[in-house]
Structure 1
Amino acid sequence: MDIYTTSILISIVVYLFVGNYAGRKVKHLEDYFVVGRNAPTLLIVGTLVASVLSTNAFLGETGFSYASQGGAYILWPAIWVAGYIYGALYFGRYLRRSKALTLAEFFGHRFNSKSVQAAAGVTIVLGLGGYLLAVTQGTAVILSQLTPLSYTQGLITSWLCYTLFTLYSGSRGVVITDTLMFLLFTIMSFVALYYIVDTHGGWLSSLTDLINLDSKPDLMTWHGIVGNDTEWQTPRDYFIWSLITGIAWSFVAAVSPWQSSRYLMAKSEHVVIRSACIAAIVIAVSNLALFAAATVVNLSKDDIFPHDQTMIWAAMNMMPSIMGALLLAGVMAAALSSATTFLSLVGFSVSNDIFPQKNKDDKSLLRFSRLVMLIVGIIALIISFFFPPNLFWLAYYVGTVFASSWGPVAFMSIWSDTITPRGAFWGIISGFAGNVILRFCDSFGWIDLPSYLNPILVGGLLSYFVIVIISRRDKVSEIERSRRLALHRTPQHECNKKQAKKTQLVAIAVIIFGLILTTLQLIYYVYPYQLATGTLNPENRLDWFTMEAILALCWAAIFVPWGVVTYRAIEQSYCPKPTLNQAVNQGGKSTQ
């Protein structure tokens, strides 16, 4: 048994051991669903990062950057991670305030409608069921490449691991293992970057060689390789696609069930905001490290196929054996942690939102939830045998469904006093259907959509206009209005100036992060790129009007304002100024 197989087996054993430990702590339904609403910042950050950085990031997206979009993936600002910040400020903390068990239950209670709850539950099952499929296939690919197991055997093995784990431990086990795995694969991402880049004389030397790589011209431009036989015919097409995709995934980060549901577990609203800001920073930096490492692999071997095996090849050929083994254990950990998240959420929605069990005690509900999870897992396994694996595009198609179907409803449920239950119901359905149907027709060549008519955008706009049109014909009831207003009343125990100051430090970190990333991009990418391509201004001055320079500046343009907004929102929400009467009373007491 080689070191790579051994490391993966050890990580799986640790994973199952932790799950068994966590499962023993589950005493009631709230423990199983939301960890007793007592998770600290580290655990929420861990589960946010681990549930999104799955096989799609480590295999699918790294393969994409290696194959054609190296410069684009490194240069483009992480528009989508800003969704964590505004999602926490304008949805996540209110979601936690509701004390719901699931997101679908939140919608059902907010709109006083079982139909809305069921509609949200069905989209979770369909959407996350597809994501679970992608992650399951990703783990099978890893196992088939690194162990004697075949792809089919890898499917069964990975399925057994995450299904048995999730059935027993629920969310309590998921967040603990997510955090352990998050620490492992985040550290190993930077270790991989160090060894891969060091092989070719450091980053600046690697960047120059990549710019001059004959086999892949334009690999390091801001748009990557475009033209015939690619997804994008022109740089403009890629720009539009990247912009729409970035915005769509920011909505995914803000409201999707596998991200925002983590806030239901948070110890406080301060934990929600801190976790979101830290997760945005960690994910952005981790992605940059992974994409840069995968792109540099071209200098050692530029014909790896399938492309999603790029990091597997690098771990086995460009890193010391022990480090490569740890990296692959981290990749496997990321895949399993995401699978547990998706399976648990699908199981929770089926048992709590689609087929709720009334008049049953906690033990009966726990048994039913576990049975449902087992059935869901079996269905996902069966489909995995017949659906061809395509990690990047499958995750991209499935993930963005929630931007279209949930985005408008989620934010309007908090901020609109005119949205009605029928509007919310048909908004979810129309957004989901609009995205999926257009995507289906485009994939089969029945229609040819221009880049500006991306199904994500069309589905989201359709959802919004359906909500507005239908809600105008109805009337918001007093119970719906009172429930929305109740969400805007900050609990007294959250108004703690000491905690608020700590949370504001995280907001300041977001501002500093944006400034540092822009500076690093300019120094270590844009200037060397212009120097190598001969596009610097006279006297070797930077040309600020190239897309590479503009994209580098966008890091600060995105993160600095959101850091400021977060800082002020904390001040306004959790450090209220005393009213005139309170000031008079305090003044009176001070003179006594």
Structure 2
Amino acid sequence: MSQYLIGIIASVLCFIAVGNYAGRKVKHLDDYYVAGRNAPTLLIVGTLVASFLSTNAFMGETGFAYEGYAFLMLVLVAVNSSGYVVGALFFGRYVRRSQALTIPEFFGKRFASRRVQAAAGLTTLIGLAAYLVAVTQGAALLVSEIGGLPYWQSLLLVWAGYSLFTLYSGSRGVVLTDTLMFLLFTAAAFLGAWFLLDATGGLERTVSELARFEQRPGILAWHGLVGENAYWGSPASSLGWALVLGLAWGTVVAVSPWQTSRYLMARNEQVVLRSACFSALILMLLYVVLMLMGAAINLVNPAIENPEKAVIWAAMNLMPDWLGVLLITGIMSAALSSCSTFLSLIGFSVTNDLVKLDLDEARMLRLSRRVMLASGLVSLAIAFIRPSAIMWITYFAGTLFASSWGPVAFMSVWSRRITAPAAFWGIVAGFLGNILASFLRKLGLVDLPVYLDPLIIGGLASLACILLISRHTRVSEAERRFLAGLHRTPEAERDFAAVSRTLLVPRLMMLGGVLLAAWLIQSYAIPFNLALAP
């Protein structure tokens, strides 16, 4: 058994122990679904970042940087990380006020409609199931690669690892294990990048050499590789892609169930706002580190056949054993954190949003765990069909929520005219519009420009349905009352001292952004331009 596999198994056993400890404290549905609504800022930041990052970031997107698109990814992330702040300010804190157990339940309460709740629950089930399958497969491929196990054995090991603590402890366990995983993979990423850049001569020398790298010309240019054998033919088209996907994923971060559901666990609204600001800054820092790491690997080995394995190769061949084990364990932790979040939300949606039963809390807890187990088994069965690319599958699954939920989510808080029928058909139209456009493009029947990405087509279809149907339907009195209640600030949130402390956080975030920009100018922009100077 390799040292890397031993590290993974040891970490999984640790997470199972923590999850089981947390599971003993689960007594009520609030404990299982929303961790008792008492999580502090650190735990919310940990679960926000951990549930967002997965094998897609550490393997798919870092492999994308290895291929020649490091700073194009940073353009995308600079846009999408703003979704944390926008989402918390204009959606997340109001969701918390609703006291819902799930985000689809919030929609059901807001529009006084079980049909709207069921539509949101069904999109949650389909979208997160696809995401769960892709991330599970990515983790299984990692275990298979470093442990020498057959794919099916690796898949069973990964599935059992995240299922064991998620089924028992629900959100109370997920928020604790997510935070531990977040601390682990963050430390691993920074240490791994530091060692790798040191091995390639330091950051400035690495940037200079990559600027003149003939095998992938333009690898560190802001637009990445362009031309005949690249993904995009011109800098304008690559920038368009990054901006469109950045806005889409900003919407995903702002309204998707695996992000906004974290705010339901927060101790108060101040925690929601602080967590969003810290998460945005941390996400940007992590991506800077990961993208630089992915690009730098080219200087040691520019011929890795599968770019998604570039960081794994570096961990196993370039780094000291202890650091390689830490980095691979960190990547696995990122995968497990996303898997546990997706599995729990799938189970919650099936039990709470799609099937409504009149049961006492004890029986509902037992049913939730059984439904979660059944959902996990279905996902496991589907996961035996391997994906062609982790990155592109997760991008498709994630953007379904930008199309189907984006317009409805923000209008549910800020529009007095949106009606329950409009919300229902807006969700349906956005979801189906995205899927239909994606399949037509996949089959080669249409060639869509970047400004007509399937997520934009779905989003426009959703918005058009909402506006059209709202003109011909009426808002009910129940909807008016609920919306008015959302905009009444609870007395508990009127603590002036707490608000003052919260206002310090965005200032720290802005200062961090300025310092990061200055560092990138000094360590990247100047050496890059000097290397290209005649």
Alpha-carbon RMSD: 1.1
Where in structure 2 are the equivalents of 1:550-561 lying within 5 Å?
A: none
Correspondence 1:453 to 2:445 = no
- Could you list the per-position Cα deviations for residues 380-414 of structure 1 after superposition, in whole angstroms to 9, with x for gaps in the alignment? 11111124241100011111111111010000000
The residue that corresponds to 2:476 in the other structure is 477
- Could you list the per-position Cα deviations for residues 30-50 of structure 1 after superposition, in whole angstroms to 9, with x for gaps in the alignment? 100000100010100000010
The residue that corresponds to 2:58 in the other structure is 58
In 1, distance between residues paired with 2:466 and 2:30?
Answer: 32
The residue that corresponds to 2:88 in the other structure is 88
In 1, distance between residues paired with 2:504 and 2:4?
Answer: 41
The residue type equivalent to 1:472 in the other structure is: R
The residue that corresponds to 2:341 in the other structure is 341
The residue that corresponds to 1:432 in the other structure is 431
In 2, distance between residues paired with 1:411 and 1:215?
Answer: 46
Where in structure 2 are the equivalents of 1:28-427 lying within 5 Å?
A: 28-74=28-74, 78-358=78-358, 360-427=359-426
Gaps of 5+ in 2: none
In 2, distance between residues paired with 1:286 and 1:436?
Answer: 31
TM-superposed CA distance for 1:231, in Å, is: 2.7
Q: Point out the more displaced range, 70-79 or 212-221.
A: 70-79
- The SS at the match of 2:81 is helix
- Could you list the per-position Cα deviations for residues 262-311 of structure 1 after superposition, in whole angstroms to 9, with x for gaps in the alignment? 00000000000000100111111011101111110000001112111111
CA contact (8 A) 1:89 1:273 kept: yes
In 2, distance between residues paired with 1:8 and 1:164?
Answer: 15
- The SS at the match of 1:506 is helix
Identity of counterpart residues, as a percentage?
Answer: 50
CA contact (8 A) 1:137 1:389 kept: no
- Could you list the per-position Cα deviations for residues 123-165 of structure 1 after superposition, in whole angstroms to 9, with x for gaps in the alignment? 0000000100111001101110111311111111111111222
Gaps of 5+ in 1: 536-592
The residue type equivalent to 1:122 in the other structure is: L
The residue type equivalent to 2:28 in the other structure is: H
The residue that corresponds to 2:531 in the other structure is 532
The residue that corresponds to 1:568 in the other structure is none
In 1, distance between residues paired with 2:270 and 2:77?
Answer: 26
The residue that corresponds to 2:21 in the other structure is 21
CA contact (8 A) 2:405 2:427 kept: yes
CA contact (8 A) 1:166 1:173 kept: yes
> Under a length normalisation based on structure 2, what TM-score does the superposition of the two structures give?
0.98
CA contact (8 A) 1:56 1:135 kept: yes
TM-superposed CA distance for 1:80, in Å, is: 0.3
- The SS at the match of 1:224 is coil
TM-superposed CA distance for 1:77, in Å, is: 5.8
CA contact (8 A) 2:81 2:253 kept: yes
In 1, distance between residues paired with 2:356 and 2:160?
Answer: 26
CA contact (8 A) 2:137 2:386 kept: no
In 2, distance between residues paired with 1:56 and 1:112?
Answer: 37
CA contact (8 A) 1:74 1:292 kept: no
The residue type equivalent to 1:182 in the other structure is: F
**Which protein has greater RCO, CA pairs closer than 8 Å, 6+ apart?**
2
In 1, distance between residues paired with 2:8 and 2:275?
Answer: 29
In 2, distance between residues paired with 1:449 and 1:77?
Answer: 23
The residue type equivalent to 2:489 in the other structure is: T
Q: State the number of aligned residues.
A: 534
The residue type equivalent to 1:240 in the other structure is: G
The structure with the largest alpha-carbon Rg is 1
In 2, distance between residues paired with 1:295 and 1:498?
Answer: 45
The residue type equivalent to 2:424 in the other structure is: F
The residue type equivalent to 1:141 in the other structure is: L
- The SS at the match of 1:319 is coil
CA contact (8 A) 1:50 1:334 kept: yes
- The SS at the match of 1:445 is coil
TM-superposed CA distance for 1:190, in Å, is: 0.6
